[in-house]
């Protein structure tokens, strides 16, 4: 119960922070790289909003009302463009070429993709592990409640199934 209340409190704090960030965003100078017609703000969204695509809800509503046009979507941030990602891939490939020459082995694309994607995959794995582990909390809590209720109905005060 305490864990659930703590989770809700943390969620509310995160959402309040994101809302405050968006409300006061007008008074804060825009960071470098933010263009005036940029509508793709995944970086400003909370973890819950990112997981459920709530930050992108306005596109769903607009697309429901009328067909979307390219102008409706605005432009992408720099880190989501193909030029930026090509540069990252090329840099990782050059590092892999240097490593392959040092060790006199072949170039491995697995190593290149590991350099590029290891952090997000690691974070996703940790979150998945936590989600799978917390999936056991419900059945264990129900078992504890049933055992407690059963012990209240028993004549023996030391009874615990």
- Supply the Cα-derived Rg of the chain in whole angstroms: 25
| pLDDT confidence of residue 20 | 65
pLDDT, one tens digit per residue, over 29-81 is 445 555 667 677 777 677 677 777 887 888 888 999 999 998 888 887 888 88
| pLDDT confidence of residue 102 | 94
Residue 118 has pLDDT above 80, yes or no: yes
Nearest to 95 by CA among 116, 74, 78: 116
Q: What is the mean pLDDT of residues 97-109?
A: 94
The whole model's pTM is what?
Answer: 0.55
């Amino acid at each position: 119960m305490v864990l659930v209340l703590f989770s809700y409190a943390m969620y509310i704090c995160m959402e309040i922070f994101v809302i405050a960030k968006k409300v006061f965003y007008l008074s804060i100078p825009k960071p470098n790289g933010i263009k005036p017609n940029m509508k793709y703000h995944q970086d400003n969204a909370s973890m819950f909003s990112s997981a459920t695509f709530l930050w992108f809800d306005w596109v769903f509503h607009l697309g429901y009302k009328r067909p979307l046009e390219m102008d409706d979507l605005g432009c992408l941030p720099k880190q989501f463009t193909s030029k930026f990602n090509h540069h990252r891939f090329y840099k990782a490939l050059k590092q892999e070429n240097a490593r392959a020459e040092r060790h006199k082995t072949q170039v491995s694309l697995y190593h290149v993709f590991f350099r590029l994607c290891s952090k997000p995959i690691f974070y996703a794995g940790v979150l998945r592990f936590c989600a799978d582990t917390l999936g056991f909390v419900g059945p264990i809590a129900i078992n504890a409640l049933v055992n407690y209720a059963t012990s209240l109905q028993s004549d023996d005060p030391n009874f615990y199934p």
